[in-house]
Structures are given as C-alpha cells and as structure tokens.
Amino acid sequence: MEEDIVQALAVLRAGGLILYPTDTVWGIGCDATSAAAVQKVYDLKRSGDKKSMIVLVGSADQAARYTGRVPDVAWQLMELADKPLTLILPGAAGVAPNLIPDEGTLGVRVPQHNFCQALLRRFGRPIVSTSANISGQPAPVRAGEISKEILAGVDYVVSRVSEGVMTGRPSSIVALGEGGQIKVIRE
C-alpha cells in the first residue's frame, strides 16, 4: 500500500488524476482545490454536472474547513452512520470553483477505508471522489469492471492490493440546510 500512496500523492500534487478504491466503489480522484484537475475529471467522465462529484476528507474537522457553515446535526449523523454517508453541506469554501454547484454546497464524506484514510492524511487536502465510469454508465464495483477509456484517461491506477473492503454500493446522501433541515437524497 505504501508504494500506491507515494505514487498517488505525486500525481495528485502534480494536478493529475488517480483511479482508486474507496469505501464504496472504485473512483476517479484529483486534488479538490485545483480547478484544472477538476476539469480533467469532468472531461474524462464527459460530464459537467457539479452535483455528481463529492470530496473525501480525512476527518469531520477537515470537512468543517471546506464548508463554512456545518449544522450541528451533521456531527451527529457522521457519528451515528453505520454505512458510508455523504453529507451535502452549505457554504463550500476553499475548493475549486468548478466543483461547487450554484447552491454553494459541497458533498463530503469521511471514508472508513484504510487506503483512503492514509492518502487523505498525507495529502492534507480534500480529494475528489466520483465513480470510475463515463457518465450514465454503471459504477464499477471491482477493478476488473473499469472501462479501458477510464483506465487510459488517468495518470495513476492504484493496485488491487490496496482495494480493501468496499460496500459495492454508492453512499447514502443527506443534504443539510443551514437551519438544520435534513433531506435524504439517496438511502
């Protein structure tokens, strides 16, 4: 896993794209603070949908650094979640502008995955996470399901050795309003 982390860090720092396992499915990732890197992801996926990409962060504290107004209920939801949970939080800040939808929100998840946690800890910034597929196609659960086009479009592919345990399903998504309103987007 160490070699994968070193290689992935070099690519992320250079503004490139990685193909990596997460706690849910295989994903395409980049430095979430780099507009040029985020654009490369949109181009590879053939998508401009700002609502389709979230960021992974290493901790709830890091999530707070990239969203200006975290409702108190967010901390409770993160603590109580028994499966991968993405929170759509108000007040996106400090990430690439082309990652932020018109509503000014940011989807964040703290993954419970060894490789992701180690990478996030050492990178120190959020990493884009979007399924490793062309928009509209099924999300790959295992490395062998990733299309040749996606494989050819990234700068580094993390080895299967770092795959770890994945749910094989997208995360639950809950949107939180500034006043503590809760809206379940996907269970």
> In CATH, what number is assigned to the domain containing residue 163?
3.90.870.10
Task: For residue 170, give its domain range.
Answer: 2-186
**pLDDT tens-digit series, residues 103-122:** 899 999 999 889 999 999 99
Integer Cα distance of 75 and 133 in angstroms: 31
Low-confidence winner among 71-75, 87-91, 105-109, 160-164 (lowest mean pLDDT): 160-164
Question: Does residue 184 register a pLDDT over 70?
Answer: yes
**pLDDT tens-digit series, residues 129-145:** 999 999 888 888 788 88
**pLDDT tens-digit series, residues 3-60:** 999 999 999 999 999 999 988 889 999 999 999 999 999 999 998 777 678 999 998 8
Higher-scoring residue by pLDDT: 64, 120:
120
Higher-scoring residue by pLDDT: 61, 165:
61
How many domains in the chain? 1
Q: Among 11, 185, 171, 8, which residue's Cα sits nearest to residue 101?
A: 185
pTM value?
0.90
Q: What is the mean pLDDT of the chain?
A: 88
What is the pLDDT, as a whole number, of residue 186?
84
Contacts of 114 (CB under 8 A, 6+ apart): 1, 162, 164
What is the pLDDT, as a whole number, of residue 165?
67
Average pLDDT over residues 66-80: 79
DSSP string, 48-115: --GGG-EEE-SSHHHHHHTBS---HHHHHHHHH-SS-EEEEES-B-SS-GGGS-TT--EEEE----HH
Per DSSP bridges, beta strands 54-56 and 156-157 are unpaired
